[in-house]
Every structure is written in structure tokens, then in C-alpha cells.
């Protein structure tokens, strides 16, 4: 009887130890991996070395690169977008006002999504200034190792006419850079 209880208890503990929360997974994302094989270490390449940034710093820089690139692409729309309204899904959360100060020098202003209002023709305007704009909802950041990510997003110049796309980014020369092949970001 005792043996059975101890075996069940061991299995239960092993099962609980194997469960990890998302928060712990994020914390372990940048944890350095120990080599317990006893073999001599291989020559380290860039992909196996821990990155020179924390995940939070990286996510801020990635979102900044995405917004800057989107603003550049939106300037090619006809009619030209006078404003960009940024939100983070799933709750359409506004960016931090301090974070939005990073975009003050851009030609096209960047506003939180809560400042956007629909107009009768289905477009979006800024509630305060009346500038017409484009809504950009950043879905998430999909990590592909330490130095490459994919950022899915949805944008809409008119209500009911949304377009989904993604930006692939890589870490190059100390910053996050948007990579493109032949497609433009804002292809309806």
C-alpha cells in the first residue's frame, strides 16, 4: 500500500514539475543553456549565443521598428494617411503614452487606437484633430530563435476592409530590421 502511494505521489510530482506557465517560459527564453554532455564545446555561432538584450527590451524595439516601417508604407497609400492609430490585440490596448513619444519626429503622427473614430464613409479620423488615418493592430510577436521574429498585424483604412499581413524582422548590427522579399507591406 505504501509503495503504491509513493509511486502515485512521485508521478504526480513529476507531472507538476513538467508543467510550466507562460511567464516561466518567457523567463527561460533567454536563460543560457548548460552543456551536460561532457563533449568539448563547439565553436559558438551567433544563433547559439544569448542575445545582448532582454526580451522586454527586444519587444519594445521590435514594435517600434514595425510602426516606423508601417508609417513609411502608409505614406504611399492613396489618399495619403494623415495619422496612424496603433493598438495591440487581443484587447485593442493603447500603447503607453511615453512609448508614443518615440514617434514624435515622424512626418505622419502616431496616435493610440482609442483616439480613432469612424466616420460615415467608413474611414477613420482622429477625435481631436480630425485627421484621416489608418488603423494598425499589432497581433503578437512570434519568435524564431533569439535573432529573428515575425510580427503579424491587421490594418484598415476603411471599416470592414481589413488586411492582414506580417513583418519579418532580424537582429542586425545592434538593431531590429524589417526584412522584405518582393511584396510590399500594404498590399490590399
98: cell is 511615453
Residue 120 has pLDDT above 80, yes or no: yes
Segment 132-151 shows an average pLDDT of: 94
pLDDT of res. 187? 52
Class of residue 136 by CB neighbours under 10 A (exposed 0-12, middle 13-18, buried 19+)? buried
Cβ atoms 173, 121 nearer than 8 A: no
Mean pLDDT across 59-87: 91
What pLDDT was estimated at residue 21? Answer: 37
What pLDDT is stored for residue 16 in this prediction? 39
Residue 172 CB partners (closer than 8 Å, separation 6+): none
pLDDT band at 122 (very low <50, low <70, confident <90, very high): confident
CATH topology of domain 55-178: Nuclear Transport Factor 2; Chain: A, (3.10.450)
**pLDDT (tens digit, 9 = 90+) per residue, 11-37?**
444 433 443 333 344 444 544 444 445
- Model confidence pLDDT, tens digit, residues 81-97: 899 999 998 788 999 99
CA distance 171 to 35: 25
Residue 74 has pLDDT above 90, yes or no: no
Across the range 99-117, mean pLDDT stands at 94
Count, residues in the chain: 188
DSSP character at residue 48: T
Amino acid at each position: 500500500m505504501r509503495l503504491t502511494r509513493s509511486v502515485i505521489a512521485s508521478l504526480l510530482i513529476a507531472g507538476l514539475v513538467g508543467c510550466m506557465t507562460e511567464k516561466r517560459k518567457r523567463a527561460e527564453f533567454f536563460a543560457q543553456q548548460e552543456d551536460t554532455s561532457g563533449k568539448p564545446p563547439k565553436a559558438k555561432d551567433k544563433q547559439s549565443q544569448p542575445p545582448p538584450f532582454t526580451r522586454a527590451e527586444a519587444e519594445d524595439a521590435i514594435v517600434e521598428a514595425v510602426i516606423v516601417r508601417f508609417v513609411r508604407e502608409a505614406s504611399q497609400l492613396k489618399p495619403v494617411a494623415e495619422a496612424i492609430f496603433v493598438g495591440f490585440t487581443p484587447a485593442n490596448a493603447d500603447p503607453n503614452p511615453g512609448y508614443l513619444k518615440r514617434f514624435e519626429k515622424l512626418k505622419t503622427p502616431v496616435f493610440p487606437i482609442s483616439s480613432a473614430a469612424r466616420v460615415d464613409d467608413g474611414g477613420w479620423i482622429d477625435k481631436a484633430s480630425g485627421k484621416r488615418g489608418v488603423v494598425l493592430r499589432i497581433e503578437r510577436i512570434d519568435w524564431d530563435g533569439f535573432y529573428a521574429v515575425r510580427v503579424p498585424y491587421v490594418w484598415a483604412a476603411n471599416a470592414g476592409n481589413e488586411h492582414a499581413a506580417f513583418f519579418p524582422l532580424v537582429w542586425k548590427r545592434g538593431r531590429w530590421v524589417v526584412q522584405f522579399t518582393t511584396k510590399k507591406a500594404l498590399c490590399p
